[in-house]
Amino acid sequence: MKPRSTALDHLYGVILAGGRGTRFWPRSRRLHPKQLMHLWDRNGEGTSLLQQTVERLRPLIPAERTWIFTNEWLQREVIRQLPDVPREQIVAEPVQRNTGPCAGLAAELILHRDPDAVLGLFPSDQLIQKPAAFLKAIRLAARHAAEGSIVVLGIVPRWPETGYGYMEFPARPSHRNTQAIPIRRFREKPALAVARRYLCSGRFFWNSGMFFWNASTIREELRTHLPKTARVLDKISQRAAAASSIAGRQRVLNALYPACENISVDYAVLEKTQRVLGIPCDFGWSDVGSWNALHDLSPQDARGNVLRSEALLLDSSGLLIDVPGKLVAGIGLRDLVVVETKDALLIVRRENAQQVSQLVKLLEQARREELL
């Protein structure tokens, strides 16, 4: 007798790898963004954040059930970095339309293969330092998603962060006993005073951006809450199924996908549906969102300096220095990021590292394409 299949047998990884990583400029560029970089290796060796994401999921999600959604700029490099992932499962979106349409597109494509598919949506640029706890949360999330719920992994907050979205539980949950709990509501990036109240309450967890749902569930929710985009995705599904090649599918995407609305799955579905459960988690999560975050996650010397190149320092602390091929000499420096590439030099206080993306916007306005 054939053993009964479980949710894990039908669990697919949908990995989002099309972002630009602008807060890591000047290292992160349009053709080589953060998720494709080797952030912890000064010689450019090792593995990228994308490769680490795929490898982290491998105990539960093999390559044949791994799908990557990227863009045409990055598709070739993604294929190079992930030779085990089938080529037809590395999908290039012709334009960025945020996570709402991407989630729907993934569901449509995968449903053609597996009508019982359970999808886990994962960013490609996060760090997980407790993989066993992470996999335990995924197992629970997949089981609830297979039963029709939409599941979000929530991260126990470690400080009053103003750059993340939050999810509120009805009461203070425990992340030590992994469980799925109905979410009361989602909250967007708060002001500092509000974030402090969230932290003190114990009911608010960071929204990790990792979601789980049955493929048919997210299709149904999009048809209810984002009908215009759902109709576009339905056309893509029909025509892509009839395409006889990857190139044919790409032509379908190029023709139809731009008509999708530009909206996150959070706004499109999660804040409107009654199906959402949250799992409070503590598995050593970081979104590695800026040079300051990289400083905090990297090995430091006795004065808190992260030296990714040769440096001669006097009375200096809290620095991140990444200037290949040069000796960097400094006296009396505090809490700075110094990063040089062949065509740009960035100097920023670590506390202002989130604003590096604003510099990229200025370069875009000035049409400095060679620096993007």
Read off the DSSP letter of residue 343. Answer: S
Question: Do residues 219 and 305 both lie within one domain?
Answer: no
Is residue 3 pLDDT above 70, yes or no? no
Q: Tell me which DSSP letter residue 191 carries.
A: P
Label residue 72 by pLDDT band (50, 70, 90).
very high
Do 31 and 115 share a domain, yes or no? yes
Instruction: Read off the pLDDT of residues 119-142 as tens digits, 9 standing for 90 and up.
Output: 999 999 999 999 999 999 999 999
Number of domain units in the chain: 2
- Cite the beta strand spans of the chain per DSSP E: 11-16, 66-71, 90-93, 118-123, 127-128, 150-155, 166-168, 181-182, 185-187, 204-214, 276-281, 285-286, 306-307, 311-314, 320-322, 328-331, 336-340, 345-349
Given a cut of 60, is residue 45 above it in pLDDT? no
**DSSP secondary-structure letter at 76?**
H
Return the percentage of the chain with pLDDT > 90, whole number.
Answer: 89
**Cα-only R_g, the chain:** 21
For residue 217, give its domain range.
7-286
Q: Which residue, 370, 364, 366, is CA-closest to 22?
A: 364
2 assigned to some structural domain:
no
pLDDT score, position 176: 73
Question: Can you tell me the mean pLDDT for 262-284?
Answer: 95
Give the CATH number for residue 171: 3.90.550.10
Q: Mind listing the pLDDT tens digit for each residue in 82-104?
A: 999 999 999 999 999 999 999 99
Domain C-terminal end among 268, 286, 304: 286
Could you give the 3-state DSSP secondary structure of residue 85?
Answer: coil
314 and 270 within one domain: no
Least confident of 16-25, 174-183, 294-303: 174-183
76 domain-assigned: yes
Predicted pLDDT at 5: 81
Q: Is the confidence at residue 257, as pLDDT, over 80? A: yes
The string of pLDDT tens digits covering residues 187-236 is 988 999 999 999 999 999 999 999 999 999 999 999 999 999 999 999 99
The confidence score (pLDDT) of residue 41 equals 61
Predicted confidence (pLDDT) per residue in 279-302, tens digit? 999 999 999 989 999 999 999 999
Distance CA 158, CA 322 (A): 27
Residue 38, pLDDT score: 86
Q: In this structure, are 226 and 366 located in the same domain? A: no
* pTM over 0.85, yes/no: yes
Indicate whether 352 belongs to any domain: yes
Q: 85 and 111: one domain?
A: yes
Residue in this structure with the two tokens 């370069």, named with its chain if needed = 363
Domain boundary among 240, 264, 286: 286
Domain check: are 253 and 297 in the same one? Answer: no
Q: Please give the pLDDT value at position 2.
A: 57
Query: 286, 302, 317 — which closes off a domain?
Result: 286
Instruction: Answer yes or no: are the C-beta atoms of 290 and 276 closer than 8 Å.
Output: no
Residue bearing tokens 């620096």:
371
- The partner residues of 167 in beta bridges, in order of sequence, read 186, 205
- Do 51 and 68 have their domain in common? yes
| 3-class state of residue 151 by DSSP | strand
pLDDT in the model for residue 262: 97
What DSSP letter does each residue of 246-301 carry, written as one string? HHHHHHHHHHHGGGS----HIIIIITT-S-EEEEEE-S-EE---SHHHHHHHS---
Domain membership of residue 1 (yes or no) is no
> What is the pLDDT at residue 1?
55
Pair (248, 312) in one structural domain:
no
250 lies in the same domain as 164: yes
Q: What pLDDT score was predicted for residue 245? A: 92
Say yes or no: 264 and 132 in one domain. yes
Angle, to 10 degrees, between the axis of helix 49-57 and the axis of helix 131-146?
Answer: 60
Same domain, 297 and 276: no
